[in-house]
Amino acid sequence: MKRSAVIWLVFAGFAMLSFHEAGKLPFGRTSVPGAGFFPTVLAVLLAMVSLIGLIAAPQGNGMDQSQEPLFWRKMLLTLAALLAFAAIFEFAGYVVTTFLFVIFLLRAVERKTWTQAGAVALCASLVSYILFGLLLGAPLPTGFLRV
């Protein structure tokens, strides 16, 4: 637990450094957020949650030595999935890419059954598309489907 909190804290630090450019953008107010509002607030919130996780974590690292390779395997598979997601996002589109991403995580990382992984991936991709693409009007890539 402590290790993951430290990793997220370092990530938050990098996010804050890279969002230094966001500080040049108008911040706005909570009622009318500017372009720099969300990157800055999200980086600060990530840092706060990481610090809380670091403080609340038990003294041990929470896993014995036999779990160490499994931890790194899952982390590397997740990172590879995120990179693949970014690589095919524009070409395949939001719904297809999200479906493939979630099904990969549930099958390869979490070892769920095909039925569980497929049902969750289908629901996650469709519900998030309805929420963000249709209701909120976010411009999500359609990819080769051109819906």
Q: Judge whether 138 and 132 are in contact, CB under 8 Å.
A: yes
Q: Comparing 91-95, 126-130, 136-140, which segment has the lowest mean pLDDT?
A: 136-140
Residue 89: which of 78, 101, 77, 80 has the closest Cα?
101
Written as one string, the DSSP assignment of 102-136 is HHHIIIIIS---HHHHHHHHHHHHHHHIIIIIIIS
In the prediction, which pLDDT does 83 show?
Answer: 92
If one compares 124 and 33, the residue with the highest pLDDT of the two is 124
Q: Judge whether 93 and 139 are in contact, CB under 8 Å.
A: no
Instruction: Name the CA dihedral angle for 95, 101, 107, 113, rounded to a multiple of 10 degrees.
Output: -20
pLDDT tens by residue, 41-90: 777 887 888 788 778 766 655 555 455 666 778 888 888 998 999 899 88
Question: What is the residue extent of each domain of the chain?
Answer: 1-62, 64-147
This prediction's pTM: 0.58
Distance from C-alpha of 122 to C-alpha of 142, rounded to nearest angstrom: 16
In the prediction, which pLDDT does 60 show?
Answer: 56
